[in-house]
Amino acid sequence: MSNANPLLLELAKLDFNIVQATHQQDLKILSTWWKSTRLAEKYSFSRDRLVEAFFWSVGLVFEPQHSLCRRMLAKNISLIVVLDDIYDVYGTLDELEIFTQAVERWDIKAMEQLPDYMKICYLSLFNTTNEMAYHILKQQGINVLPYLTKQWADLCKAYLQEARWYHNGYKPTLEEYMNNAWISIAIPLVLLHAFIFVTNPITLEALESLNKFPDIIRRCATITRFVDDLGTSSDELKRGDVPNFEL
């Protein structure tokens, strides 16, 4: 690097160190939150992927000023992993039906109908999402909770559909699978949360547009689903998941 400008090189090193220190602080805060949920402790059958979830969020928004967005996305992705494992591996079909209904209701009283092992997951999801909506309401004066809860309900219904196929021994057609799979990959949910934490001001028109799943979101989700299935299909089949699409 003999031709490098020493001032620019020093600036680049300083910038890298600042970004890295910010990311390390983000992960420290997330680790404290994750331990407080006790989800990894309570659900030994589930994958503990907090660090991986954080790196996903860094891939979406790495800039230092977006610390809050990274942390919120990592929380969401961590909860998605736990939910995915409950629906794929552990829950009975009857239990999954009840859990999905509880998420659709989005009422703390709905937790009373859940099996004991599901209550901590439901409460973590409920509290974390409400906290995010509260933050946006406080900062921007707009209530995003109905949009966030709809995304979680849609995701759980997609997971439930996959569980029904598996428990009934049904192999969906490619069209049936993809009509469900672009939602079950959770990209619409993640992108909505990314949007609300990097956008100021948020408008109801934008939220309504995202709620209708514009083509760019559906296509992004479809591509991610293909990549995910090609990379994890054999592992998911071992865990008892519904057969995925394979090229």
Q: Give me the mean pLDDT over the 206-235 stretch.
A: 89
246: in domain: no
Residue length of the chain: 247
Residue 103 scores a pLDDT above 60: yes
Total count of domains within the chain: 1
105: in domain: yes
- The answer to whether the beta carbons of residues 240 and 166 sit under 8 Å apart is yes
Q: Give me the mean pLDDT over the 68-80 stretch.
A: 98
- The answer to whether the beta carbons of residues 150 and 211 sit under 8 Å apart is yes
Cβ partners under 8 Å of residue 197, min gap 6: 66, 68, 69, 72, 73, 132, 136
152: in domain: yes
Full residue range of the structural domain in which residue 59 is found: 48-238
245: in domain: no
160: in domain: yes
Q: Give me the mean pLDDT over the 9-21 stretch.
A: 96
Residue 237 scores a pLDDT above 80: no
Q: Is 33 exposed, middle or buried (0-12, 13-18, 19+ CB in 10 A)?
A: middle
22: in domain: no
* Residue-wise pLDDT tens digits, 115-135: 999 999 999 999 999 999 999
> pLDDT confidence of 1, banded at 50, 70, 90?
low
CATH number of the domain enclosing 133: 1.10.600.10
- Whole-structure pTM value: 0.92
123: in domain: yes
| Helix, strand, coil distribution of the chain in percent, nearest 5 | 80, 0, 20
How much is the pLDDT for 83?
A: 98
67: in domain: yes
